Amino acid sequence: MRVGFLQYSPVFGDKKGNLERVEEMLSGEKNALIVLPELCFTGYVFKDREELDTLAEEAVGPTVEYLTPIVKDNNLFLVFGMAERVGERLYNSSCLLSPEGEIKIYRKAHLFNKEKSFFTPGDTGFPVFDVTIGSNQVKVGLLVCFDWIFPEPWRILALKGAQIIAHSTNLVLPYCQDAMITRAIENRVFIITTNRMGEEREVTFTGRSQVVRPDGKILIRVGEESQGVWTVECDPLEAQNKMVTERNDIFQDRRKDLYRIEVK
């Protein structure tokens, strides 16, 4: 099946313009799972919670309404980050939009730095969603940016059967892209890490979006300043094989009897 990512530099606060740019960049892409960056239509560097509140919207709102005909007409599954409003709460969310217009939500569990002043920590847990593209029936998990540094959500998604983990990011630290090689190997899953590029309010993002195979091989990685859409073929069934050697299964060999700890 075809998977990939869209790396670009959103204009802060210009949701309409960013949606139009993404639509143009997606032109010609069909029958694929494509991952966009974290908060990819609003921008990321908010001055305060009030500014974030003016840009947040409910999950089923103007952004999804704009994107729905695009994914429907081109048989795309689109993963994108958004500032989601739920009552008085604001979440840093990842959305999976299907060609049928169905929306699935994951809310970022691990907030990074100043995000703690603006967003509510996620309450969705770590769900896995079913995606069907052509003859491929695939289980997809969603994570957002700083979730990368915690091994637990990756293992939980893998144990729930995720074959592909779509990881929308706005990375500023230099470590994540290389760390994803380890995350892929230790869970035997495909990982699509989509970062933004450019600078926003004196914050510089690291680009280097990539797709990593279950064996840690990088199928594709772009540059720090690259803009565009890149896709690659992958076989999600590779993520079903959890064997490291002919006698070592990474799930069956876990010593759960030794993993219990008491934290005081």
pLDDT tens across 2-33, in order? 999 999 999 999 999 999 999 999 999 999 99
The predicted structure's pLDDT at residue 261? 83
For residue 100, tell me if it sits in a domain: yes
For residue 241, tell me if it sits in a domain: yes
Q: Determine whether 145 is an active site residue.
A: yes
**pTM score, whole prediction:** 0.97
For residue 263, tell me if it sits in a domain: no
The predicted structure's pLDDT at residue 115? 98
Q: Determine whether 38 is an active site residue.
A: yes
Using CA atoms, how far apart are residues 26 and 7, in angstroms rounded to an integer?
11
Looking at 15, 29, 38, 104, which residue is catalytic? Answer: 38
Neighbours of 160 (CB within 10 A): 13
For residue 46, tell me if it sits in a domain: yes
For residue 264, tell me if it sits in a domain: no
pLDDT tens across 116-140, in order? 999 999 999 999 999 998 889 999 9
Domain count for the chain, please give it: 1
Q: Determine whether 108 is an active site residue.
A: yes
For residue 178, tell me if it sits in a domain: yes
Looking at 15, 104, 108, 139, which residue is catalytic? Answer: 108
